Structure 1
Amino acid sequence: MNAHPQLLRARTALYPRDRRNVAVARDLTRITLADWGLTRRSDDVLLCVSELATNALLHGVPPGRCFRLDLSLDTAEVLRVEVQDSGPGEIRTPDVTPESERGRGLLLVAALSDDWGVRQREPGKVVWCEFRDCRPS
């Protein structure tokens, strides 16, 4: 028996460095979730996509480059969100105070998703998060 779930569905899009593309990535995610019947936790997923796309644009996409959004659903019904960029690979959750105006994005991703992380790629990195139990009960 195979211990690793197989990929069931996937959707990918590339977005040029433009702040408006955060909303476009969120819209694609909303449409994908509806197409795949994943309505539970959709607000959490959409917020995480917004945060990861924003971080990619602010910190990982040089002028003239793109970021990539990958959405996948496996046979164990785990939804995986990946945002790839070509920036430096080190990510950390910042120390923020209640007065801080920035720096909460990865804290939100960590709080809302079931798991998240970063992996290196050449060039850049992939920041990912996963959600279980997205299907309606």
Structure 2
Amino acid sequence: MTTERDHRHVNKETQPPSPRERLYRRERRSVPAARAFAREALDAWGMRERADDVVLCVSELATNALVHGVPPGRGFLLRLLPYGDGVRVEVHDSGDGVPAVPRTDVREPGEGGRGLLLVSELADKWGVAERNPGKTVWCELGGAYFPPHRRAPVT
């Protein structure tokens, strides 16, 4: 089960898109649900240019929260905050500990251990803010916004 707050704005011409957030339980199905929620928000905002990058960052941050940050019986909060031509992704969890800075020399086989490395490569910037309880892991990706009435530049 998820809880959502959709902060819609009144006038799309004069107001920037409003942030969206959703609370997810500590369940495996929360990660695909978070990806779908992010894609829906980006589509509604007209942020199509880097949508795949944003959705991948959401997936990695949500997965890290579930695997490393969310204590049993708790959940995590995903917030999407549009700014200028980009979007800030925040994942809040109440777990202890702060993620380690990703190593770029990881060459071991397997699927794990590369989430924050991917985020650091895709995002313009990322970081961790300690909270009580827990932390917020965030990233920002610019250049995501192409309004529906404008064309992408020709390359």
1:90 aligned onto 2:98 = yes
Stretches (4+) displaced over 6 A: none
Deviations 1:106-134 (A, max 9, x none): 00000001110000001000000001110
Task: Return 123-132 or 86-95, whichever deviates more.
Answer: 86-95
**For structure 1, which runs of at least 5 residues remain unmatched after alignment?**
1-5
Deviations 1:15-59 (A, max 9, x none): 010010000000000000000000001111111100000000000
How far apart are residue 78 of structure 1 and its match?
Answer: 2.7
Query: What is the aligned partner in structure 2 of residue 77 from structure 1?
Result: 85
How far apart are residue 94 of structure 1 and its match?
Answer: 4.2
Question: Is the CA contact 1:71–1:81 (under 8 Å) kept in the aligned structure 2?
Answer: yes
Q: RMSD of the TM alignment (CA)?
A: 1.6
Using structure 2 for the length normalisation, give the TM-score: 0.79
Distance in 1 (alpha carbons) for counterparts of 2:133 and 2:115 = 23
Counterpart code for 1:79: V
Distance in 1 (alpha carbons) for counterparts of 2:54 and 2:111 = 22
Distance in 1 (alpha carbons) for counterparts of 2:52 and 2:80 = 15
Aligned counterpart for 1:29 among listed residues 38, 50, 55: 38
Query: What is the aligned partner in structure 2 of residue 39 from structure 1?
Result: 48
Counterpart code for 2:32: A
In 2 relative to 1, CA 7–115 (structure 1 residues): closer, same or farther, beyond 3 Å?
farther
Question: Is the CA contact 2:17–2:45 (under 8 Å) kept in the aligned structure 1?
Answer: no
Using structure 1 for the length normalisation, give the TM-score: 0.89
Residues 1-137 of structure 1: pairs in structure 2 closer than 5 A? 8-74=17-83, 76-95=84-103, 96-136=106-146, 137=152
Distance in 1 (alpha carbons) for counterparts of 2:34 and 2:52 = 14
Between the two structures, name the one with larger relative contact order (CA 8 Å, sep ≥ 6). Answer: 1
In 2 relative to 1, CA 107–51 (structure 1 residues): closer, same or farther, beyond 3 Å?
same
In 2 relative to 1, CA 36–120 (structure 1 residues): closer, same or farther, beyond 3 Å?
same
How far apart are residue 97 of structure 1 and its match?
Answer: 1.8
Tell me the matched-pair count. 131
Distance in 1 (alpha carbons) for counterparts of 2:48 and 2:111 = 31
Deviations 1:69-105 (A, max 9, x none): 000112x233100000011242113442242431000
Query: Percent of aligned pairs with the same residue?
Result: 53
